[in-house]
């Protein structure tokens, strides 16, 4: 009955979605079969996660965008290997449409996989992860689609003093989820140019892409200078039956970063950053708006003890907007303060990271540029009987008070806890709970918000781990 009601609302769009669904399913089957066939001749080995190396002796410098997986002290990371894993889960979702006004619950199956490549030579370092997953709901079929997430980080040493870096983060996601299946808890300050990942928009499909290029000159043993450029895009598909339109965005950025190693365990840096973003499609601030942000950020990172690293950063931002409606007021130019910090503790059985940040950036599609305040917490803990626990959570606030006549605000809260235990061979059993709470207030509030809970039980299996040589 629920599926028929939704089909009548979508009309002809559902027919297109079903055609797209079968096309995606076919391609997913073909790709999975080809990948498995290609890897089958090699011997099986335990699955290891494709990730970067252990945290460096110094805390991560703000502005690099490098966030390492949260690891226990002494926990090693794989090098020079290709790995493939697959998993299947069943879960209960108490608000599939992410709308409290039409709250529909359902059960579903999730099929996910992970392809990881880690390669490190004298001149090249590559980290690549591809994480597709497919959802199959029992009653509500409009989210039965193939989802994709991919991350690439490549560094090429041109000379002994010049490094060229390429990075990209891509996501194609159906529905509203706090994270894609299989993503790890990260530590360290996030990239200042990343798109908002903590404010959720009521949409059926979302595409995000954030490529970038870096050129680093190592000027001396203790100093380096990096020129960077990047592009980001967020595009929304059909909205889930809501009255207002979301803001698609396209932006470019360029920066200059200087780093100086003060002592063996402490570094200092500053970042000059230019961001230019155009928003289209929304209503509250006009159909099109352009925002330019100039930032000067100072940062200090230090290893405070053998188990604790910390980074603090802050500086002014100058914001200039063009094309907003009279309802939102005008901003010929205004200064805002930005800043934050991150602290990580890693011991044998516990790893913890806490990060705080305040800056002017995008709003996840609800508004245009807003004042973002957010905090994230990640904890990993080894329990008894080979059980591991991972806790992640965060809170964020998107505030439109940057505009003279605007008073809208959206608050979001996310949380998740995962218990996992390795079984025979390379299988891992896990139980997970995720929750999202979002609420918007004010005269320009785009959407009222929603609450969502999800309980998952599943297995992951490491199919292959293939050495790539030295």
Q: Please write the tens of the pLDDT for every residue from 156-213.
A: 999 999 999 999 999 998 887 766 555 788 888 888 888 888 888 877 789 999 999 9
Q: In a 10 Å sphere around its CB, with 0-12 CB exposed, 13-18 middle and 19+ buried, how is residue 233 labelled?
A: middle
State residue 9's pLDDT score: 46
Question: What pLDDT score does 180 carry?
Answer: 56
* Count of beta carbons in the 10 Å neighbourhood of residue 264: 9
Q: State how far Cα 69 lies from the chain centre.
A: 13
At residue 38, what are phi and psi to the nearest 5 degrees?
A: -65, -30
What kind and span of H or E run contains 313? strand 308-322
Reported as type and span, the H/E element at residue 22 is helix 12-39
Residue 77: what pLDDT? 78
The whole-angstrom separation of Cα 444 and Cα 284 is 6
The tokens describing 166, both together, are 């390429």
Strands (E) located in 101-188? 106-120, 124-130, 133-137, 146-159, 162-174, 186-187
- Whole-model pTM: value is 0.83
Residue 324 is predicted with a pLDDT of: 57
Q: Where are the beta strands (DSSP E) in 182-222?
A: 186-187, 205-209, 212-217
Predicted confidence at residue 179, as pLDDT, reads 61
Pair 76, 59: CB distance under 8 Å: no
Taking the C-alpha atoms of residue 401 and residue 276, their distance in angstroms, rounded to an integer, is 20
pLDDT at 243: 57
Asked whether the CA dihedral 310, 314, 319, 324 is positive or negative, the reply is: positive
Look at residues 418, 467, 452 and name the one whose alpha carbon lies nearest to residue 102.
452
- Cβ atoms of 26 and 444 closer than 8 Å: no
Tokens 């290029």 correspond to 213
Contacts with 398 (C-beta within 8 Å, 6 or more apart), sequence order: 196, 199, 363, 364, 366, 367, 370, 371, 372, 409, 410, 412
Radius of gyration of the chain measured on its C-alpha atoms: 23
pLDDT of amino acid 35: 39
Q: What percentage of the chain exceeds 90 in pLDDT?
A: 57
Q: What CATH number does the domain containing 126 carry?
A: 2.40.160
* pLDDT under 50: residue ranges of the chain: 1-14, 17-18, 21-22, 24-57, 326, 329
Residue 305 φ then ψ, to 5°:
-155, 175
Beta bridge partners of 410: 398, 440
d(CA 391, CA 250): 33
180 φ, ψ to 5°?
A: -80, 150
Can you read off the two tokens belonging to residue 357? 């940040």
Cα 444 to Cα 113, 284, 395, 407, distances in angstroms: 41, 6, 21, 7
Q: Identify the bridge partners of residue 461 per DSSP, sorted by sequence position.
A: 86, 427
- What is the per-residue pLDDT across 88-145, written as a single tens digit (0 to 9) for each? 999 999 999 888 888 999 999 999 999 999 999 999 999 999 999 998 999 988 888 8
pLDDT value for 332? 72
Range of the domain at 16: 2-467
* pLDDT score recorded for residue 239: 60
Number of structural domains (the chain) is 1
Measured between alpha carbons, how far apart are the two ends of the chain, in Å? 58
pLDDT of residue 10: 45
Q: In 300-390, which ranges are continuous DSSP H helix?
A: none
Question: Can you give the pLDDT at residue 218?
Answer: 95
* Distinct helix (H) and strand (E) counts, the chain: 2, 22
């Amino acid at each position: 009955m629920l599926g028929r009601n939704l089909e009548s609302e979508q009309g002809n769009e559902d027919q297109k979605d079903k055609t797209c669904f079968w096309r995606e399913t076919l391609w997913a089957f073909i790709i999975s079969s080809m990948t498995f066939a290609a890897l089958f001749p090699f011997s099986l080995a335990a699955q290891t996660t494709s990730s970067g190396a252990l945290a460096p002796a110094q805390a991560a410098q703000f502005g690099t965008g490098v966030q390492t997986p949260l690891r226990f002290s002494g926990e090693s990371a794989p090098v020079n290997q290709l790995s493939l894993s697959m998993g299947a889960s069943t879960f209960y979702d108490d608000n599939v449409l992410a709308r409290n006004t039409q709250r529909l619950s359902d059960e579903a199956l999730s099929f996910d996989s992970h392809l990881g490549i880690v390669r490190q030579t004298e001149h090249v370092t590559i980290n690549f992860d591809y994480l597709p997953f497919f959802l199959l709901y029992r009653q509500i079929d409009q989210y039965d689609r193939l989802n994709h997430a991919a991350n690439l980080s490549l560094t090429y040493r041109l000379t002994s003093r010049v490094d060229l870096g390429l990075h990209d983060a891509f996501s194609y996601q159906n529905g509203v989820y706090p994270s894609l299946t299989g993503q790890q808890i990260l530590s360290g300050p996030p990239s200042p140019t990343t798109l908002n990942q903590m404010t959720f928009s009521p949409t059926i499909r979302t595409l995000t892409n954030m490529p970038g290029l870096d050129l680093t000159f190592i000027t001396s043993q203790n100093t380096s200078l990096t020129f960077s450029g990047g592009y980001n895009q967020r595009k929304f598909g059909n909205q889930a039956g809501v009255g207002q339109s979301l803001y698609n965005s396209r932006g470019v950025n360029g920066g200059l970063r200087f780093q100086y190693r003060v002592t063996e365990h402490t570094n200092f840096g500053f970042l000059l950053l230019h961001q230019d973003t155009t928003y289209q499609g929304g209503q509250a601030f006009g159909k099109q708006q352009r925002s330019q942000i100039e930032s000067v950020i100072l940062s200090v990172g230090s290893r405070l003890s053998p188990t604790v690293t910390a980074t603090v950063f802050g500086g002014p931002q100058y914001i200039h907007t063009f094309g907003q409606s009279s309802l939102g007021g005008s901003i010929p130019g205004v200064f805002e303060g930005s800043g934050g910090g991150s602290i990580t503790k890693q011991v044998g059985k516990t790893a913890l990271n806490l990060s705080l940040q305040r800056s002017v950036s995008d709003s996840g599609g609800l508004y245009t540029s807003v004042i973002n305040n957010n905090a994230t917490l990640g904890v990993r803990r080894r329990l008894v009987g080979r059980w591991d626990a991972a806790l992640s959570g965060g809170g964020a606030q998107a505030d439109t008070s940057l505009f003279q006549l605007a008073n809208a605000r959206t608050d979001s809260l996310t949380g998740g806890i995962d218990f996992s235990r390795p079984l025979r061979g390379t299988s891992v059993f896990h139980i997970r709970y995720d929750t999202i709470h979002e609420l918007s207030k004010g005269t320009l509030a785009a959407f009222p918000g929603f609450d969502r809970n999800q309980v998952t039980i599943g297995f992951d299996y490491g199919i292959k781990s293939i050495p790539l040589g030295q």
